[in-house]
Structure 1
């Protein structure tokens, strides 16, 4: 058998090996590998018939559903590059992403019609719209189910090679507009294999995913599952934990990936009604460090599980992991480089730092992004000359310490981006929304430490004389225009904001003042 070279080649292999095996269980309904291959092949052919060719971008704006899973693999099989957009995304950002990516086609859900219509109205050349579910509010949309039913089942030929684009993963940028991280088939296939390696997964695993597929942590649960020929238990969200827990028991989930906020909800539920998942053998955490007291309590819930602490960023998927057996002997560490990659620290001047000293973390490996779509300036900020002539490595812009044995310890972020709930938030993007509120003179956003979120978003707002606004009104305005994770947790009204010598609002000075004002 020839080696796998393209990301989606795992699907026909899994279908050939065990076609009747459940590939994905969506909200309790099982779909086999044969069904997934059939649906993805048909939709892929329909996409090609509508002009999708190698490298063309196709957007997926859906909840965690069967059509979303089919769409991702269909786009790859057609030779295109997928971009999954969070279904919480509002119209203005959706329009920006569609225009910036040059997406030829948008696959979406009918219940998102309000945002879709508002977004498409902003575009001079809207993409072709394919919609699942009730599309009565989207009269121009093609029906997802009709396309599957009408498309012939035939092998799809594409000239795709491993260096071609597989996905654009949009993440917040310091300018306020999201930026598309370019990942190739080669980089995503390598990352998938490395994750499977260090997590010690196998085809018998049943992996839960209650994380958005638009979030790379959620997306890779799907990619790992198909790569292995395992089963993905897919939920729309973790909003109703009791329902998720019931599915975990019913389908004997073996892998539980989550972020600290989900673990907090789980442990809160556990304190009221004891939970026990004896089938779970892997628990993974990223986005923010788990609070120290979570470890022993999680072992009550998952007595047979290895608990992994990890660190990563969208630009390379995963950076490091801590072997579960070392959790007690290496408190606070996020471990070492994932298999097949290398990490090192440099000072701001580009010089190596001694063990125990803080430095900027650099990542070297096949999983590093190609760059940011249409943003050579931002690409140059993150990709730097490497150890070999012509090589580029990822400069994370994050500060770490490394001990004499190579274990990493997070120190802090060196840029303005706030990382909350595992998502990156641009302060400028939230500030732009705040400045759109009538009566707001100035506004600034900072991230403040939070045990569960990693960072919480705090807004400082200066009002014009005579204007009265409540925290509730500010948050409601933001909720109507931003994804939920971008809405400020705190709104602080003040008379002025600290400025630099050039008169620019200084988030750094604001953060310092905030720290000094906070109780010890």
Structure 2
């Protein structure tokens, strides 16, 4: 099914129900559909045709939700970009996707106008509710009968080189992912979902899609910059589903006098984008014993791959879970052949949720989408190293590109991070390999300390007690915060130092 049909069907079921809560504004499903359909008419009147790309450069808010649905109602393709994106990257994305229209914040008009690839592109700048509506066409665009195979989204992601790649997701890809996720989370129209993650990325966007699919209410928060305000919104709107990333869990752990009654309405918490450290999970479960915590793993290229049923967490502490419904996973060797249980290999994914490929990047597409050597079926090669047990439960080892090779030994950064997260006094940690003229690469730990008395020697001593010698960090650097991507994920690429480290080894 096409994603905009979710909105139409939810409006038919209960048009008066609240679809969107954003600040003091509440939109019913009827109102949300009307605004989206009128913006769709505006897009068409501005020359946007089926299959054209619409670049959406907006903060989280009801305008962003309307822009997304309007683009789909117009038969066009969303290209959501985080509004914190700087001009050089925005220029790269614009040159690649060649948008027919731009929807942006009024405050970002100067940025957009300064990007040569966008200077002559028609655009609409959002503002307050009244001025926003004034820019929309008076008549809503009638429903269209368009195929599910049409492209729905280009979501740009950066690989190890930092060059943006546009992940092509069709409506049927997004539909398959949304239905599978909603199934295991048991989402219904009775849910109220919170999105505080950027809707310019897959994890945040999926909260909007899930709400429209199930007829739930979506509470949109601009960011997690003021956690207490977000927590109060959870209480006031009686939120039942809260999607977070590990950094947000770490902030909750460090908050003083956090009142668990703020979260009384929650039914579940999900964690994705990066592995949730066991210490973070244990804290969440102890602090909110009534809440089911779903640890999940996915990629932009297919939205979601695996989830760990909450009842299995104690028995499978290090696992990211099993394949989501409708998806098949395997761990394979370099020839693409499945390896025995417990053997490290690359994770491959088969399912209707897998992307069409990378926009205008045939080389990257051929590398990521390859046929199964036995059946010929196309599979997504994730570039992630995993093991799988006999029951299909997956354990993340490392990104292929992140493996540290130090003095001939291989070090998986996550294995070191798991130990660091168990150390009292450490709130967050990120491990990278940095060039070294003796070791080849040295293991470096970036640490955010909750205990200001913690020293480099303390960290190294703790690691030496819990890790093999070649895995112990040779460098420990204390930071106020970890380097992050726009989606809030800790970034090894941003953390890596280009200059070689020289000298003797402790």
Give the TM-score category using the shorter length: 0.7 to 0.9
2:125 aligns with 131
SS in structure 1 of the partner of residue 179 of structure 2: helix
2:225 aligns with 239
CA distance in 2, matches of 1:44, 1:326: 45
1:354 aligns with 340
1:145 aligns with 133
2:291 aligns with 305
1:36 lines up with 2:32 in the alignment: yes
1:226 aligns with 212
CA distance in 2, matches of 1:125, 1:417: 42
1:82 lines up with 2:67 in the alignment: no
1:57 aligns with 53
Please give the root-mean-square deviation of Cα atoms over the aligned residues, in Å.
3.0
CA distance in 2, matches of 1:39, 1:417: 48
Shift >4 Å, 4+ stretches: 387-390, 446-461, 481-494
CA distance in 2, matches of 1:298, 1:287: 17
CA distance in 1, matches of 2:87, 2:41: 29
CA distance in 1, matches of 2:181, 2:18: 21
Shift of 1:301: 3.5
2:258 aligns with 273
| The one of 7, 10, 13 aligned to 1:17 | 13
Shift of 1:300: 3.9
Unaligned runs of 5+ in 1: 135-142, 419-445, 462-474, 499-512
Shift of 1:294: 2.5
CA distance in 1, matches of 2:59, 2:235: 23
Shifted more, 447-456 versus 212-221: the winner is: 447-456
SS in structure 2 of the partner of residue 58 of structure 1: strand
TM-score w.r.t. the length of structure 1 is: 0.78
SS in structure 2 of the partner of residue 69 of structure 1: helix
1:443 aligns with none
1:375 lines up with 2:361 in the alignment: yes
Q: Is the 8 A contact 1:456 1:489 kept in 2?
A: no
Residue deviations 1:201-227 (CA, integer Å, cap 9, x gap): 111001111100012110000100110
1:321 lines up with 2:315 in the alignment: no
Unaligned runs of 5+ in 2: 405-411, 422-426, 437-478
Shift of 1:257: 0.8
1:71 aligns with 67
Residue deviations 1:446-504 (CA, integer Å, cap 9, x gap): 9886557784678889xxxxxxxxxxxxx9xxx9x99986698768685x479xxxxxx
CA distance in 1, matches of 2:487, 2:396: 27
SS in structure 1 of the partner of residue 96 of structure 2: helix
Q: Evaluate the alpha carbon distance shift between residue 414 and residue 77 of structure 1 in structure 2; reply closer, same or farther with a 3 A threshold.
A: same
Q: Evaluate the alpha carbon distance shift between residue 80 and residue 459 of structure 1 in structure 2; reply closer, same or farther with a 3 A threshold.
A: farther
Q: Is the 8 A contact 1:355 1:403 kept in 2?
A: yes
Q: Is the 8 A contact 2:56 2:102 kept in 1?
A: yes
CA distance in 1, matches of 2:18, 2:174: 23
Residue deviations 1:163-182 (CA, integer Å, cap 9, x gap): 11000010003443200000
CA distance in 2, matches of 1:88, 1:151: 32
Q: Evaluate the alpha carbon distance shift between residue 455 and residue 214 of structure 1 in structure 2; reply closer, same or farther with a 3 A threshold.
A: farther
TM-score w.r.t. the length of structure 2 is: 0.80
Residue deviations 1:230-286 (CA, integer Å, cap 9, x gap): 0111100011001001111100110111011101111222x4333331210111111
Q: Evaluate the alpha carbon distance shift between residue 97 and residue 385 of structure 1 in structure 2; reply closer, same or farther with a 3 A threshold.
A: same
1:284 lines up with 2:270 in the alignment: yes
| The one of 350, 373, 385 aligned to 1:399 | 385
| The one of 29, 33, 42 aligned to 1:46 | 42
| The one of 235, 239, 261 aligned to 1:253 | 239
Q: Is the 8 A contact 1:77 1:156 kept in 2?
A: yes
Aligned positions, number: 441
CA distance in 2, matches of 1:219, 1:378: 24
Q: Is the 8 A contact 1:28 1:247 kept in 2?
A: no
Q: Evaluate the alpha carbon distance shift between residue 497 and residue 293 of structure 1 in structure 2; reply closer, same or farther with a 3 A threshold.
A: closer
CA distance in 2, matches of 1:388, 1:60: 41
